[in-house]
Amino acid sequence: MPILEQSAVVDRPKPAKETLSVADTKKTDGQPKSKGQNKAPAESDGEDSVAIPARRELAKPSKPLCDECLKVVEKAKPVDLTYVDMTGGHKEHPHLGAKDVNGQLGYIHDETHLRKNPPKFSMNQDDLKSACSRRDNNYKMLTEQVSVDFAGEKEAMQKLGPENRVKIFCLVYTTEKGHENIPRIRETWGQKCDGFMTASTKSDPSIDAVEIPHEGPEEYDNIWQKVRSMWSYIYDNYYETYDWFHIGGDDYYLLVENLRLYLESEEIRTAANGGTYLPTGTETSQTPLYLGRRFAYMGDMDDIFNSGGSGYTINKAALKTLVVDGIPTHRPHAKTFSEDTMVARLFKKYGIEAYETKDENGGERYMPFMPGHHYGYRMPADKSKDWYAKYSINIKEGKDHCAKHSIAFHYVKQNSMYRLHALLYDLCPPGTA
């Protein structure tokens, strides 16, 4: 089946048969340019003959979307995927752009650098042996429940080929002080993303760090302004090349294979196509999707947002809505740390709500804590005294909390990044795991 979310870009190779692209979108000065606009008409076999286009049957997924999933999808309006220039000449926030190592504006990061130059896994062998030998709850969750879907990944590569897989851009935000965390990300999951960038307060090409100025001070209580500028930079420079975009802080771990397979699934392809039919590959519009770990703010089911901890994932339609429609008008000068709730409330103005991302067994795909925390966590009798219990929505306990093919974990600090990676990808020394 064709994949809806695959974006067509002029320098991306196209398959000989049916393209998997949404549309051949090209940058304009705010004016849409549709695919095939300048094509010559089909030749006629005679004076009175008429070219009849081939009929394409609309196919449904093998399983319909869950009721709650469909309700979310039906609230959102399809978005024309044509790029609209919002830069305004890069004269002011949030479209000021990025600075190079010399502090000069106009820098455009090569987001493929890490993919093309992946560093080796460099954890000290003695430390690795010690980390792999521990039998704590993190070990139990990653050996009893969570795994990378290697079989699914192999099958997808055989069926689609690398050029036709969905393209994922991974964004990590930090500050210069946090640069010490980035090498571990680059040596583990970061290099599996098609595009990768670290948004920071100082540019450093060696770790894919890019200085993106924003309105107001660089501080925790002003993350909303930082995120406004980051998303604007991503849209301005990478929108046309990528299909999906994932954002989070410098302490999340992403299982990229599992994320890619989820985005390529019939469920997500159908959801991004309006919720009923699978895409044909000829679509020029898309339903915005906003994926992550759903929380109910203070327990309010009318105020649901995706936790920023392990990050959230949006498609092209959602990114365009965020930057073109939402960011210019939704509290543009607010100073706050709660960027995740701000993004959710912005999206809600356009009918875009957090999609239910649990798997078929009710396991969560995006985790706000380390694997071991979820393995051992039990709901308290009085949920009002535990913020996590109050915010959570119909979660399971113990190892069943996490989906078998989980996507992301949070609070993965220092060598824990190496440890999780080693356990998931069979990198532990013999006899330790």
String of DSSP letters for 131-184: HHH--SHHHHHHHHT----HHHHHHHHHHH-GGGSPPEEEEEE--GGGGGGHHH
Q: CB neighbours of 288 closer than 8 A, spacing ≥ 6?
A: 76, 79, 314, 315, 317, 318, 321, 347, 350, 352
pLDDT at 54: 52
- Give the closest residue to 370 by CA, choosing from 172, 97, 133, 139: 139
Residue 49 pLDDT greater than 70, yes or no: no
pLDDT at 428: 97
Q: Judge whether 232 and 259 are in contact, CB under 8 Å.
A: no
pLDDT at 34: 39
Pairing of strands 253-254, 195-200: unpaired
Q: How confident is the model at residue 81 (pLDDT cuts 50, 70, 90)?
A: very high
Residue 421 CB burial class (10 angstroms; 0-12, 13-18, ≥19): buried
pLDDT at 55: 53
Q: How confident is the model at residue 149 (pLDDT cuts 50, 70, 90)?
A: very high
- What share of the chain has pLDDT > 70, as a percent? 87
Q: CB neighbours of 89 closer than 8 A, spacing ≥ 6?
A: none
* Segment 348-376 mean pLDDT: 98
pLDDT at 48: 53
pLDDT at 56: 63
pLDDT at 433: 81
pLDDT at 57: 79
Residue 37 pLDDT greater than 80, yes or no: no
pLDDT, one tens digit per residue, over 203-212 is 999 999 999 9
Q: Give the H/E segment covering residue 244.
A: strand 244-249
> What is the DSSP annotation of 315-358?
EHHHHHIIIIIITTTSSTT---S-HHHHHHHHHHTTT-------
Residue 219 pLDDT greater than 80, yes or no: yes
Domain ranges of the chain: 67-425
Residue 85 CB burial class (10 angstroms; 0-12, 13-18, ≥19): middle
pLDDT, one tens digit per residue, over 54-66 is 556 799 999 999 9
pLDDT at 346: 98
Residue 38 pLDDT greater than 50, yes or no: no
Residue 430 pLDDT greater than 60, yes or no: yes
Mapped to the 3 state alphabet, what secondary structure does 247-283 carry? EEECCCEECHHHHHHHHCCHHHHHHCCCCCCCCCCCC
Supply the DSSP symbol for 206. Answer: G
Give the Cα separation of 137 and 371 in Å (integer).
Answer: 7
| Helix, strand or coil, per DSSP, at residue 383 | helix
pLDDT at 405: 98
pLDDT at 52: 57
The first and second tokens of residue 248, run together, are 């989070």
**Whole-number mean pLDDT of the chain?**
90
Residue 262 pLDDT greater than 50, yes or no: yes
pLDDT, one tens digit per residue, over 265-294 is 999 999 999 999 999 999 999 999 999 999
Give, to the nearest 10 degrees, the angle between helix 416-424 and helix 137-144. Answer: 30
pLDDT, one tens digit per residue, over 368-422 is 999 999 999 999 999 989 999 999 999 999 999 999 999 999 999 999 999 999 9
Give the Cα separation of 418 and 185 in Å (integer).
Answer: 9
Residue 33 pLDDT greater than 60, yes or no: no
Residue 51 pLDDT greater than 90, yes or no: no
Give the Cα separation of 51 and 49 in Å (integer).
Answer: 7
Residue 339 CB burial class (10 angstroms; 0-12, 13-18, ≥19): buried
pLDDT at 98: 98
Residue 24 pLDDT greater than 70, yes or no: no
Buried b (16+ CB within 10 A) or exposed e, 123-140: beeeebbebbeeeebbbb
* Segment 92-108 mean pLDDT: 98
- Note the pTM of the prediction, 2 decimals: 0.87
